[in-house]
A and B are shown apart, each in its own frame.
Chain A
Amino acid sequence: SQTIHQWPATLVQPVGSPLSLECTVEGTSNPNLYWYRQAAGRGLQLLFYSVGIGQISSEVPQNLSASRPQDRQFILSSKKLLLSDSGFYLCAWSLSGAKGLINEQFFGPGTRLTVL
């Protein structure tokens, strides 16, 4: 069966510090991968998604970046955090191609980031 891991679970960082959040998926190959941010327990904002190694689509221009160094690894980074980067960060995966059309996305447990 497939599993998705995110770490850390919680993170408190000062303004201006760097960020690295990691997401890994087990039990599947060539998944589509996604990073979302959720502010104040409300809607999901899609940040990045990737359909393959080194392929990143950015949905929102901001001081965050994403990388996919391996097939099942997705990393969210920032060089300098802002107060507005605080939120709940969710990683998700789905099957790719035709199977991806009719199948759901599976979400990780999330990382709660607080920027002070």
Chain B
Amino acid sequence: AQSVAQPEDQVNVAEGNPLTVKCTYSVSGNPYLFWYVQYPNRGLQFLLKYITGDNLVKGSYGFEAEFNKSQTSFHLKKPSALVSDSALYFCAVRTNSGNTPLVFGKGTRLSVIA
């Protein structure tokens, strides 16, 4: 069975500092990994995905994520946080079939403090 863990409910970071939002996964086959962001009272917005190839994936709004197969992780990173990055972030995984839904983590709330 597929599963995703986001071990931190809340991450606080000062504006201008680097940020990391953690995600680990468990799948039986090759993982296809995704990050989404949700602003208050809005739907989820896609940030980036890892399918194959380079382990470092670059996405929207300056975010990037690093796929680490040995550690089964896909942490989201940004070199310099902005106050506007404050939101709820979800990691998700899919494997096996294109007709099965993504499996989402429980979300991590990021607060960037000015």
Contacts and interface: CB of A to CB of B under 8 A. Distances in A.
B67 interface: no
B98 A100 contact: yes
Contacts, number: 67
B43 A108 contact: yes
A42 B41 contact: no
Interface in B45-68: 45-46, 49, 51
Interface string A60-95: 000000000000000000000000000010101011
Given A95-B98, A110-B42, 19 more contacts: A32-B101, A42-B88, A42-B106, A43-B104, A43-B106, A49-B101, A90-B43, A94-B102, A97-B98, A100-B98, A102-B32, A102-B49, A102-B51, A104-B36, A104-B49, A105-B46, A106-B46, A108-B43, A110-B41
B46 A104 contact: yes
A94 B90 CA distance: 17
A96 B99 CA distance: 6
Interface string B20-57: 00000000000010101000111111100101000000
Contacts of A109: 42-43
B32 A101 contact: yes
A34 B99 CA distance: 11
Number of contact residues on A: which range applies? 20 to 34
A37 B71 CA distance: 31
Interface residues of B, number: 25
A44 interface: yes
B7 to A, nearest CB: 14
A93 B101 CA distance: 10
B41 to A, nearest CB: 7
